[in-house]
Amino acid sequence: MRNLFRKKITVNSRTMFVTFEKYSDDSLKSADDRIELENEIDVLLKNCWGAFPKDFIQSHIFKAHTIMVARAENACVAFCAISIKKILGRTIHYVEFLIVDKPFQKSGLGSFLFFWSIKEELLKSFLNLLLGKPMIIFFITPNVRVVSRIARFADFTYPNPHTADSLGTVPPADEETWLISRELLKNSDNPGRELSREGLVIKQSYVNTPWLIYNNDTAPWHSSEKINIFARKYLGYHTGEDKELMVRAHLDLFSTIRYLLNI
């Protein structure tokens, strides 16, 4: 474990410091450290999403390349786990999980945690970024505001709600994006889900956790009606559909700078 730094944030009109820690395979060799972190993550998962199978953290989260943890007032309040995969000759940075405890949501903590999770990989790829070769990121989310935010900064995003037509429609994913998405889903914890090429919509992710499905009242509606039309078409917030999106985003040098200026 490496204690990186502290950041001051405001949560419900309260100002507090959040400490950021980074874990890797080497830093989790100690059984005591693994058990302690596993227990903290388990509590956070239950608070946000409900109970997961006993071996879930060991088999999915602890196999990630990088785990970043945010702590406030002696508790784990957020974590991000990112894996690096080789698919079709591409290096894919796959966001396995990004979870922020409910009181800390909308504080900017998630965006900040995501950036610091990929910071070292961005630095390693700096020459490639200068040469115009972006970092390729994939993630899954049911939150259209997250997709919209990434699309504002990324050099490329699919599906991109900002470029949807008046009916909210986007074209089908290109061949490479489609094949990579299928491979990522095949190797996920729930490979039997249906994936649609248009919009990269994943269905039936929340069969065992139906309370996590957004409906018209709980959905993260956007301030832009254009984005909401896209969300109605592909995520079905208004009818409480069990859907989420597989998202591909490219971060080049300029999009990285734009992102940094807005977190």
Shared domain check, 230 and 162: yes
Give the pair of three-digit tokens for residue 177.
């994006």
Question: Is the Cα torsion angle 213, 215, 221, 226 positive or negative in sign?
Answer: positive
Q: What's the CA gap between 76 and 21, in Å, rounded?
A: 10
Among 184, 202, 190, smallest CA distance to 84 is for 184
Average pLDDT over every residue of 101-118 = 86
pLDDT score for 24: 73
Range of the domain at 102: 1-124
Shared domain check, 231 and 167: yes
Q: What's the CA gap between 231 and 167, in Å, rounded?
A: 11
Shared domain check, 77 and 173: no
pLDDT score for 2: 57
Cis preceding linkage at 159, omega within 30: yes
**Helix residue ranges per DSSP H, 125-252:** 126-130, 144-153, 175-186, 225-234
Q: What's the CA gap between 48 and 142, in Å, rounded?
A: 14
Of 71-85, 118-132, 162-176, 208-222, which range is least confident? 118-132
Shared domain check, 144 and 120: no
Residue 110, domain CATH:
3.40.630.30
Quickly state the pLDDT bin for 15 (edges 50, 70, 90). Answer: confident
pLDDT score for 263: 63
Shared domain check, 118 and 7: yes
Q: Is the pLDDT of residue 34 over 60?
A: yes
Average pLDDT over every residue of 2-31 = 77
Q: Domains in the chain: how many in total?
A: 2
What are the E-state strand segments in the chain? 2-11, 14-23, 66-72, 75-87, 90-100, 135-141, 156-158, 194-196, 201-203, 243-251
What is the overall mean pLDDT for the chain? 89
